[in-house]
Amino acid sequence: MTAPALSETQQHAQARHVRQCRRESMVALTLWSIGLAWTLVAVLGWGYVPVEARSAQPSLVWGMPAWVFWGLFVHWLLQIVAVWWFALCVLKDDEPLD
Amino acid sequence: MIGMLAEMNTDAAAWYVLGQQDVAILIPFAAYMLGVLVITVLSNRRQQTGDFGTEYYVAGRNFGAWVLAMSWVATLASGGSFLGYPSLVYSYGWSMAFWVSGSTVTAVIGLGVVGKRINRLARQTGALTLVDLLRDRFASKQLGVIYTVVILITTSVYLVAQFVAGARILENILETSYTMGLLLFAVSVVAYTTYGGFRAVAWTDTMQGVVMIVGVVLLVPVTLWAVASVSDDQVLELEAEAERISQQEPTPDRDTVVAELRQEIAVRRGGTALEQATRAQAEREDIEARDNDLPTQPQAFLYPPGPRRVTEPGDDQAGDWFLPFGWGLSLFLIRSLGAMMMPTTVPRMLAFRDTAALRRALLILAPYFLLMYGSSLITMNCAHSLGVDLPAGKSDHAMPALVTRLVELQAAPALLAGLLIAAPFAAVMSTVDSALLVISASIVRDLFEKSCSWRLSQRATQRLSYSVTASAGGLVCAAALLIEPAFLQPLVIHYVGGSASALFWPGLATLFWRRATTPGVTAGLVGGSVVYVLAVFWNPLAGLITLHPFVFGFSSSALLVWGVSRWTTGQTENQLEPYFGRD
């Protein structure tokens, strides 16, 4: 099975579809990059701390270590909001070919 | 999958004990199995109409948001998410937060990057599998065969691991032998997958996705309430002790002891249940380090790299810290990027109705992983405070042991305990059914019909699909009987890492890159696989950083797809137009 040939109009629609998909992918990959950077900063800055830098009374936020709260839970909540934004504002309805 | 990345220790002996305590605990499990049966029958009736292939492999391309979201996530989450990951949190504490950090972006990467593009091209070309798309774009049967073989190898390996997991759960719920558990699991899952096809798989996955998340989320308030309750009892005991000592004859130490007790009481009263549990984790001793005379780190259960790795005799990583930075980074990459081109999840992208369904699926999925892994992090870090004390090497019992403890404390109602029995079984079943259909589609559609050009009538295709699905289940069942369960976890991890190393870049280039060529995609496919396998045996950066073989396979595949495509002649405009159009 090969893809059926497209009419002139369909080819334009297909090109717009590809451009839009690439745009959406770039936004998704940007969110991924931010997620990676956030995680690395939090984990290296507050997670993998040298033993001598650990205080006797660990810093807790809402009952969990601060690095977990800021590095994972806050990050995760922001990513949830970002995914909702992506779904509602970035992801456009696909233009039909015919 | 991703659970797939957790140590997949699947023993759960305590389930049977639970079921014996209160038969009501088994009601959700029985209801779940009944639900699977009803859905299968309904799905098969729907199959009687329309084209068999389109109905059996992509369910008429008519998935709505809920079915897409739940079936995608249920396929991704295997038994490891509900038994293995909790087991690791129990063993290594809060350091396990880094382990799942890649899941923060799994949904947007897994569906947002390629979902719409795959769906559009599949509708346009009539593709029933991703291999159809690759083979047709590059007009290369050989490429289709190679891609299919990689899918078959990785998915079969994964299936064996999941069959063993399912068998182990039934073995423990019913207190039967491993062989009987395996046969029961195989018969049930193979029967409904074969009979109901993709629609049955997707609908049961949807139910399974809901069962899974409801179970683990309800566990959080119940566990925290139990920790607070136990702590209140301990405070009362401490107060009584302080009062008793203060009534004694004055001694030099008396006032000091009483003051310390009052301070302890104040701390316990002042903190939330989770704070108390985390402070207890801070003081927890690294047993592995103590027993092996190795240096320890203070608060090892609060920070990465965590405590010493719990090892078994012969383990070549004995004495290492549990989560070196490079390994945590590798897991971030696998957990986020590995979901994009995974053979078991891609079929969902060929089957959803329209962009609106994809949009709503993303809205539903966004919080799912946080609820799933966040609840395990919280509840399992409380387990020690509730007196769940398992011997070394038995942490795989952590989830059933916690539920048993909660039932003992009268914190968890029987129905919740039942849901927690059904959740891991649902997770395993939903992964297995999808993988079985992937194998069936690969063999019938990609190898026989497309690569070997078999011309089959609809009835013959139907019979062949049923036979292949059932035979694949039978063969995997036989393999699960022969393979030592102890060696399964590496197989599960290799499925994710290996499939992403081989399939990610060739798939992405096919969808988005005009300049991709047949030799380039083939080189990425073969090269990524070969480098991955080599890196399993030899780590080129050993001594510098501990990286998963995926990092090497994935990087090599990217370089090969890009380099070889650039070096070879690209496709003509006529070949490209149906896929990329023209301005």
Higher pLDDT, B563 or B430: B563
Helix H segments across B61-128? 65-76, 79, 85-92, 96-99, 106-107, 115-125
pLDDT at B115 over 90: yes
Dist CA B301 CA A15 (whole Å): 53
Measure CB to CB from residue A54 to each of B114, B272, B298 and give the nearest one.
Answer: B298
**Length of chain A as a residue count:** 98
**Shortest Cα–Cα distance, B447 to chain A (Å):** 14
Lowest mean pLDDT, pick from B10-14, B45-49, B505-509, B557-561: B10-14
To test the contact with chain A by mutation, choose from B92, B105, B373, B545 the residue with the greatest count of A C-beta atoms within 10 A, namely: B105
A–B: how many Cβ contacts below 8 A?
A: 204
pLDDT at B219 over 70: yes
Dist CA B241 CA B477 (whole Å): 59
Measure CB to CB from residue B112 to each of A18, A80, A86 and give the nearest one.
Answer: A86
Block residue for tokens 């490079």: B326
Dist CA B452 CA B464 (whole Å): 15
**Shortest Cα–Cα distance, A5 to chain B (Å):** 6
Over range B112-138, report the average pLDDT. Answer: 91
pLDDT tens sequence across B187-204? 888 888 887 777 788 888
Round the average pLDDT of chain B to a whole number and report it. 83
pLDDT attached to residue B21? 65
pLDDT at B6 over 60: no
Task: Flag if A18 and B121 touch (Cβ within 8 Å).
Answer: no
Dist CA B224 CA B217 (whole Å): 12
Give Cβ neighbours of residue A58 (< 8 Å, ≥ 6 apart): A65, B278, B279, B282, B299, B302
Measure CB to CB from residue A93 to each of B104, B356, B578 and give the nearest one.
Answer: B356
Helix (H, G, I), strand (E, B) or coil at B352: strand
pLDDT tens sequence across A27-73? 999 999 999 999 999 999 998 988 888 888 888 999 999 999 999 99
Between the alpha carbon of residue B142 and those of residues B136, B148, B343, B451, B452, the distances in Å are: 11, 10, 19, 8, 11
pTM for the model: 0.87
Exposed, middle or buried by CB within 10 Å (0-12, 13-18, 19+), for B126?
middle
To test the contact with chain A by mutation, choose from B303, B378, B504, B514 the residue with the greatest count of A C-beta atoms within 10 A, namely: B303
Dist CA B363 CA A87 (whole Å): 7
State ipTM: 0.93
Higher pLDDT, B81 or A76: A76
**Angle of helix B85-92 relative to helix B368-382, nearest 10 degrees?**
40
**Shortest Cα–Cα distance, B378 to chain A (Å):** 8
Lowest mean pLDDT, pick from A50-59, B109-118, B558-567: A50-59
**Shortest Cα–Cα distance, A74 to chain B (Å):** 10
Q: Chain B residue with minimal CA distance to A51?
A: B297
pLDDT tens sequence across B290-323? 887 888 888 889 998 888 887 665 555 656 788 8
- For B107, phi then psi, to 5°, come to -65, -50
